[in-house]
Amino acid sequence: MSHKTATALTAVLLLALFCAAVLVHDHHTRKKAHTRLLSHAGIVANALWNHNQTGAAQYLFLASRSHNYTFIVVRDTRGNIFQQAFGEPPTTLQRVFTALHLMPRVTHTSPIRYNDKVIGTIQAEWNCDTIYFDSIFLVVLVMGFAIFQLYRGLVHEKTVLEDRVTHRTRELSELNKNLQQEIEKNEKSKQDLRKSEERYRAYFEENIAGAYISSPQGQLITCNQEYLRIFGFTDKRQALDTALTDIYNTTEEREKFLAVLLKNKQVSGYETAFKRTDGTLIHVIENAAAVFDEKGNLKHIRGFLLDVTEKRSLESQLIQTQKMESIGRLAGGVAHDFNNMLNVILGHTDLALDKVDITAPFYNNLKQIRKAASHSADITKQLLGFARKQTISPRALDLNQIIEATLKMLRRLIGEDIDLLWQPADTIWPVKIDPSQVDQILANLCVNASDAIAERGKITIETGMKTFDKAYCADHAGFVPGDFVLLAVSDNGCGMDQVTLDNLFEPFYTTKGVGKGTGLGLSTVYGIVKQNNGFINVYTEPGKGAAFHIYLPRHGEKTDQVPEKTSASIPTGKGETILIVEDEDAILEMLQTMLLQLGYTVLAESSPSRALDLATAHDGRIHLLITDVVMPEMNGRELARQITAIHPKIRLLFMSGYTANVIAHQGVLDKGVQFIQKPFSMQDIAAKVHAAL
């Protein structure tokens, strides 16, 4: 049953109840009024019987007022009015109710008995005021109905509300469950985000590259520790206070970088020059990305920097080494052929000078030819020194002793206007090097220093001992760990700019005028130092002179005694038989003439195969084999081995325009090998043959 139907049914029932109650109450009220009138009749009977009108009047007056009578009349049996009384005048409401027939006037008549005898009648007109009760009852019913309806509504609303609450509770429970799941997901997302941020932060902070975030204007927002290390910042605050524009080498490089970044939105492998806090220039490879806002404006820049300064330095050194090796191979080949020709010139000039009287008109011409040939030989010697093709015989030396023996020659070399200051270390480790190479190093460096001094000046030569560990070498490019002996040559001359310093050891590079230098001096020094497993560093500033620091490895053996150079007469032979093998006919002919003139018996061949045939066919003893190292058919070492098998007591002397690995390793002669470097003079070959025999 619906709520409206129940309400209507309840209203009908209440209306029926009201009608029944009204009827019952009206009947009961009328009956009660009649009974009351009988009571009045009994009371006034005595007064009527005794003709007590006063008593009857008083009673009737009270009765009319008390019981809402309009009037009340007592008559005797003859119909005469014995006494009558009138009630209160009707009120306006009573008149209205009467006019509407809601308060009818009811007349009751009752006999008056006295001693069971009717002595009169009593008649009363009564205002039936049941309307008040009916109204109150109606109000009560209506209020009850309203309260009931309100209660039912409240119960219904409560039920509906409970249903809604139950439904909403289920919904909220479901929402709460979903919310809990969302919270758990959100918490997991937060944890994942936190872990991601931690990973990103760790990646950012611990990255081997210098990571940074900056504003478009170049203001640093954040950076990692490697960024601080690359640029030499003491802490992050110093880095944040330094604009990126201040660490670029030039403003043009910064503008070029931003132009590329804005065009491509990112840059990869972009190489730029930066300045450290100490002003040193570094080379950096940068990967960067531009981050834009929703309007397309550049918001910030994220980048990673990798310091490749050492890599670029090593690459430069590798290129330099490869270039030097290539030029060295070229120089070695040129020197080999050039030395052969110089050998012919020098040899024949010596032979001619030996036969020409000093007063002859062309004696001076021969001396000039020999001087030019000797100077050319010095140039090829420098070429071989630069190319590390120079044949050397290193020995354990006290560097102080070698330098002291050379000082007199060096003073003559640099001239009287320049002071030569010698500052040896009190104690010094031995080094292993050919003494002639020390002379070459000192001569080249001192000549170079004297050329850098305009008028009067000072050149300082000093020695010392240095030990470098791995940590020191890691921060100083070019240095090698270990114990080293220092040879330093410094001057107070004009110094060098960066361009000159970058090309310092380039062969044929010179800042001197035409005809005043070959550009091989410092290249030769570089080649000699590298050949002896050392390294060299140069310190210079324009106008403040230059200092060359050469580091030679410490040698563990005791020092050897270096024989003093003497100017003894040319030694001659006593008819010993010498076999010469040389594929260059001019040299072969010249050497044969020299040895014959020196008093030796000479056998000469231009090919190894014919030399073997000659050695096999020769009946007598062959005292000495002089052979070129590099020849067609077979090299000089192999030829010497085969001839030694035929003549076991034969002595060996090798000759060549440059070092060959056949008789030397990296330019160092094998132990016990006798060697003469082309070109050589008659005195040189005489001394070498005498020593070999």
How much is the pLDDT for 188? 80
- Write down the pLDDT at residue 515: 42
For the record, the structure tokens of 645 come out as 């098998």
> Which one-letter DSSP state was computed for residue 305?
E
Phi-psi region of 213 (alpha: psi -120 to 50; beta: other; left: phi over 0): beta
pLDDT, residue 259, reads 86
Cβ 440 vs Cβ 528: under 8 Å: yes
Global pTM value: 0.41
Q: Is residue 474 in some structural domain? A: yes
> Is the bond preceding 679 in cis, omega lying within 30 degrees of 0?
yes
Residues 534 and 610 in one domain: no
Total structural domains within the chain = 4
CATH at residue 414 = 3.30.565.10
Residue 90 lies in a domain: yes
Positions in the chain short of pLDDT 70:
1-3, 94, 97, 101-102, 129-130, 132, 193, 196-207, 314, 316-338, 375-393, 477, 500, 503-521, 557-569, 657-672
- The answer to whether the beta carbons of residues 575 and 599 sit under 8 Å apart is yes
Order of strands across the sheet with 69-76?
Answer: 81-86, 69-76, 117-127, 105-114
The pLDDT of residue 567:
46
Q: How far apart are CA 120 and CA 84, in angstroms?
A: 13
Q: Could you tell me the two tokens for 341?
A: 């020709």
372-399 pLDDT, tens digit per residue, is: 777 666 666 655 555 555 556 688 889 9
Q: Are residues 540 and 685 in the same domain?
A: no
Residue 655 lies in a domain: yes
- Predicted pLDDT of residue 504: 67
What does the pLDDT read at residue 514?
A: 40
Residue that terminates a domain, selected from 274, 307, 340:
307
- Do residues 490 and 504 touch, judged by C-beta distance below 8 A? no
Residue 78 pLDDT = 83
Question: Domain span at residue 639?
Answer: 577-692
Task: Tell me the C-alpha distance between 265 and 267, whole Å.
Answer: 7
Residues 6+ apart with CB under 8 A from 155: none
Domain end among 103, 128, 153: 128
Kindly report the CATH number assigned to the domain that includes residue 587. 3.40.50.2300
Q: In 3-state terms, what secondary structure has residue 503? A: coil
Encoding tokens for residue 439? 């002379």
Each residue of 340-363: pLDDT tens digit?
777 778 778 877 777 777 777 777
Q: What is the pLDDT of residue 642?
A: 93
CATH code of the domain covering residue 222: 3.30.450.20
Residue 496 and residue 587 in one domain: no
- The DSSP result for 189-232, as a single string, is HHHHHHHHHHHHHHHHHH-SSEEEEE-TTS-EEEE-HHHHHHHT
- When the pLDDT of each residue in the chain is averaged and rounded to a whole number, the result is 79
Boundary residue ending a domain (128, 156, 191): 128
Return the structure tokens found at 682.
């008659």
Query: Computed over its alpha carbons, how large is the radius of gyration of the chain?
Result: 69
